[in-house]
């Protein structure tokens, strides 16, 4: 099993420093959140910066997936906005197509993204129509660049669970490139089945895995051992999956090196049983 760590948990580090810390700790890869401080996709001289990050990843032997959950990259006033469901949705689609191009240049294993929350004044069916149209645009870019997509169900969003993911895939025509990002914590937070069963259901479509601890009915990303998940059977269920399993602790940048070290130690022990 290959473990990675999300760079959104290293928000106080320069990206190059974060990559070196994670490589030194023994991680196999990173989940790179494109953001203003970490490979800003709207900043100047993007091609050179992408090339520099690619060289760093190669030198350090780190695999990469591209994450697109930056909180205020697109709008300094509205967290995670605009989404596919907002009037200014073109900004989200532009960002995701840029992310796909960056992922291709980095040799990334997938690009991960989500639906967004449904505005109160938008009907559910209209929201689904907008989401399908937006995902179709991103799929076209992914086809052009030969990049896999990993759609993530997020609690509270229009697509918040595995049922919603499979419905969206069906509406898109079940394209092979439209894979699944699974956050293990969400299986505890938002799914009715036991976490290992949630993992087994997701396996055929998995292209990206985020891992953290969580409690039922909450959406707080917790350090391992602080929530309710029993990880050894979860990781056993996940064992057929060949991709990165990346720690997702976006609120813990204040102690990133320590938490990254402790997380990897915990996961390796959980794998060993």
Cα(216)–Cα(218) distance, integer angstroms: 6
Cα(2)–Cα(17) distance, integer angstroms: 21
- Mean pLDDT of all residues in 196-223: 91
pLDDT at 38 over 90: yes
pLDDT at 222 over 90: no
- Mean pLDDT of all residues in 204-224: 88
pLDDT at 2 over 80: yes
- Mean pLDDT of all residues in 43-50: 98
Lowest mean pLDDT among 6-15, 36-45, 192-201: 192-201
Task: Say what percent of the chain tops pLDDT 70.
Answer: 100
Q: What confidence score (pLDDT) does residue 167 get? A: 98
Task: Say what percent of the chain tops pLDDT 90.
Answer: 91
Backbone Cα Rg of the chain: 17
Q: What confidence score (pLDDT) does residue 249 get? A: 95
What domains lie within the chain, and their CATH numbers?
2-272 (3.20.20.150)
Cα(150)–Cα(178) distance, integer angstroms: 6
Q: What confidence score (pLDDT) does residue 220 get? A: 79
Q: What confidence score (pLDDT) does residue 221 get? A: 85
Lowest mean pLDDT among 76-90, 176-190, 212-226, 242-256: 212-226
Q: What confidence score (pLDDT) does residue 118 get? A: 97
Burial tier of 20 (Cβ tally within 10 Å: 0-12, 13-18, 19+) = middle
- Mean pLDDT of all residues in 111-125: 98
Q: How confident is the model at residue 217 (pLDDT cuts 50, 70, 90)?
A: confident
Q: How confident is the model at residue 216 (pLDDT cuts 50, 70, 90)?
A: confident
Q: What confidence score (pLDDT) does residue 158 get? A: 98
Residue showing tokens 């799914």: 191
For residue 217, CA distances in Å to 61, 186, 220, 227 come to: 38, 9, 9, 11
Q: What confidence score (pLDDT) does residue 260 get? A: 98
Q: Is the dihedral of CA 190, 206, 211, 58 positive or negative?
A: negative
Lowest mean pLDDT among 108-117, 122-131, 210-219, 260-269: 210-219
Q: How confident is the model at residue 273 (pLDDT cuts 50, 70, 90)?
A: confident
Q: How confident is the model at residue 190 (pLDDT cuts 50, 70, 90)?
A: confident
């Amino acid at each position: 099993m290959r473990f990675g760590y999300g760079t959104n948990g290293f928000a106080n580090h320069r990206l190059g420093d974060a990559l070196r810390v994670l490589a030194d700790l023994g991680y196999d890869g990173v989940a790179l959140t494109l953001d203003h401080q970490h490979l800003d996709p709207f900043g100047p001289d993007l091609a050179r910066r992408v090339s520099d990050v690619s060289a760093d990843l190669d030198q350090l032997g780190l695999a990469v997936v591209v994450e697109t959950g930056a909180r205020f990259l697109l709008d300094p006033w509205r967290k995670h906005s605009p989404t596919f469901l907002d009037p200014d949705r073109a900004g989200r689609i532009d960002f995701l197509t840029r992310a796909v191009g960056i992922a291709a240049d980095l040799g990334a294993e997938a690009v991960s993204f989500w639906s967004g929350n449904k505005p109160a004044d938008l009907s559910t069916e209209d929201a689904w129509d907008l989401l399908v149209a937006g995902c179709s645009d991103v799929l076209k870019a992914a086809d052009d660049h030969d990049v896999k997509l990993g759609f993530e169900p997020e609690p509270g969003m229009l697509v918040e669970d595995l049922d919603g993911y499979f419905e969206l895939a069906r509406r898109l025509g079940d394209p092979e490139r439209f894979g699944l990002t699974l956050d293990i914590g969400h299986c505890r937070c938002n799914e009715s089945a036991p976490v290992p069963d949630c993992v087994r259901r997701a396996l055929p479509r998995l292209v990206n895995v985020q891992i953290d601890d969580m409690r039922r009915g909450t959406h707080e990303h917790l350090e391992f051992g602080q929530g309710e998940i029993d990880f050894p059977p979860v990781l056993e269920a996940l064992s057929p999956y060949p991709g990165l399993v990346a720690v997702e602790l976006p609120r813990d940048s204040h102690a990133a090196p320590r938490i990254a070290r402790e997380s990897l130690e915990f996961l390796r022990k959980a794998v060993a049983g």
